A = this chain, B = another copy of it.
C-alpha cells in the first residue's frame, strides 16, 4: 500500500467523521506527527484525524475495517521506539487523541481517577494533587506525554520501585477495537478474577490491538515524609550493596534508587542550566535515593539518616548530600532526569533501554564496559538508570572529535554487543520503552519461536485485517 493507494473519496469519508477542522492534510500540519524525538524514523501519512469522542474513534475504526485502511494511534508522540510513527512509504492514517484530554472523574475516597486516553500525564498528576492524592507515574516527558501512550507502552519512570509501572497503576480500560466495537472495561475494582486478563493485554500492546480511549487509574495518599539524598560511591558493587541495605531498611518506603556515573554528572553539570554537582569531590559513581513515608515526616528523616549512617560505616557511602528543601529535592531529580538531554551537546548517542536481574547489574556493567571500549576506543559511556528495577539506560556518547554520522552508523553493531550481554543474564532488551519499529525484528530473533507465534495469534485474533498500527511490535507477514 502506498500513499497513492487511498482514494480522495475514502479520505473524505474519514474526514467527515471528525469534521474538516479536525481532519488535516497539509504538509505543515502533518510534519510534526511524522517524526519522533530521536529522528530515527520519518513516516508518511495522507491524513491526520483528531476525533473528539469515543464514538468518533469508533466510527473511524469501523470505516478503517470496511476500507482496509491502516490507522496509527498517536498521543504525546514522545515514544522512543517508533511505535507511534506511521510507516515509511505507506499511507497510514494518524489518529491523534489530543482533543480527548479530559479528567472524567476524581474520587479521592475510592482512590481512583478516570481519564480520557489523551489526558496529559502532568495534568493527571495535578488533578490528583488538587484532591490531596498522589498519582505516582513520573517521567522526563510528563509535560507532554499522554495517558493512552503511557498505558500502551506500560511506562515505567522513576517511582516504579514503590508503585510499579503503568500496568500496576491501572484498574480498568475503555478500548476501541480494530472493528470499531467499544470494550467498556472501566472497572474500579482492586480484585476481579473474571476470565482472561484483557486489560493487561491492551496495556503494553503499543496500540496494535486497539485504541485506549479511557482508563481508571489508582491514586495514593500523599506521603507526609519525603527525603532525597545524593551519594558518591566507589563502584557499582557498592551501589548494589547500598540498595540491598536500603530495601531492607525502608521496604516500600524506598521510592527511588537511581544509579549515575561520574561522566553523566559531569556533562549534566556542564550542559544543563541550573545543575551543579552537589558534592565537593568527584566520585566514580553516584546514587540518588528517594524515600517517602506515609505516617510522618520524621519517619522519612529517620530512615534516610539511618541508611546513610550505616552506608558510611560499611564503607559504601563516601560522601552524601541530603536535600534540605523541596527546591533542592527537585534540583537533584532534575539532574538525574536531564542526563539523557545532557548528552546532546556531546554529539551522537547510541541508546539502550535494558534490564537484568538487580543482583547482576555489577557484572553486566563491567562486561559491557569492557566490550564497548574494546569495540570503540574512546567511547564515553553514560550508563545510568533505575538501579532498583534492574533497568539501565546504557547510553554511549561518541568519542571526542568523532564524526557523528559514522558513529550513529554503528548503532546496530553496538546494540548487538550490549544486548548480547543482557541476554546472557536473561535480561530484557526493552525494559520500559517498548518494541515499536526499533526492536521488532530483533525481538523475533532473540525470543523463542513459540513466543512470537503466540503474539501473532493474539494479533490475528484481535485484528484480523491487520489495520491497527500494523508493522509494530510483531510482524504478521514473515
Contacts and interface: CB of A to CB of B under 8 A. Distances in A.
Interface string A251-283: 111000000000000000000000000000000
Interface in A198-254: 198, 200-201, 203-205, 209, 220-221, 223, 244, 247-253
Interface string A426-439: 11111111110001
Contacts of A182: 450
Contacts of A250: 294-295
Contact of A302 (B107, B295, B435): B295
B359 A251 contact: no
Contacts of A111: 247, 358
Nearest to A166: B193
A156 B191 contact: yes
A286 B440 CA distance: 54
A23 B426 CA distance: 36
Given A252-B252, A253-B252, A295-B306, A193 B433 contact: yes
Contacts of A477: none
Contact of A189 (B154, B194, B428): B428
A198 B434 CA distance: 15
Contacts of A433: 193
A123 B459 CA distance: 39
A65 to B, nearest CB: 14
Contacts of A253: 251-252, 294-295
A390 interface: yes
Interface in A375-391: 386, 389-391
A461 interface: yes
Contacts of A355: 189-192
B191 A431 contact: yes
A221 B198 contact: no
Nearest to A390: B190
A177 interface: yes
A447 interface: yes
B455 A191 contact: no
Given A223-B251, A451-B185, A473 B195 contact: yes
A107 to B, nearest CB: 7
State the 9 A-B residue pairs at the shortest beta-carbon distance, nearest first. Answer: A251-B294, A252-B252, A192-B428, A200-B200, A457-B461, A110-B359, A191-B431, A109-B359, A461-B461
Interface of A: 107, 109-112, 153-154, 156, 160, 162, 164-165, 167-168, 177, 181-185, 187-198, 200-201, 203-205, 209, 220-221, 223, 244, 247-253, 293-295, 299, 302-303, 306, 355-360, 386, 389-391, 426-435, 439, 443, 447-448, 450-452, 454-455, 457-462, 473-474
Given A109-B359, A458-B458, A461-B461, 17 more contacts: A156-B193, A167-B197, A177-B450, A185-B451, A189-B390, A190-B358, A191-B386, A191-B431, A191-B432, A192-B355, A195-B204, A196-B458, A196-B473, A197-B200, A220-B251, A251-B293, A252-B294
30 contacts: A107-B357, A110-B357, A110-B360, A111-B247, A156-B193, A160-B190, A165-B191, A167-B200, A168-B168, A188-B357, A190-B358, A190-B391, A191-B428, A191-B431, A193-B433, A193-B434, A194-B429, A194-B443, A194-B447, A195-B435, A195-B451, A196-B459, A196-B473, A197-B200, A221-B251, A252-B252, A253-B294, A253-B295, A295-B302, A295-B303
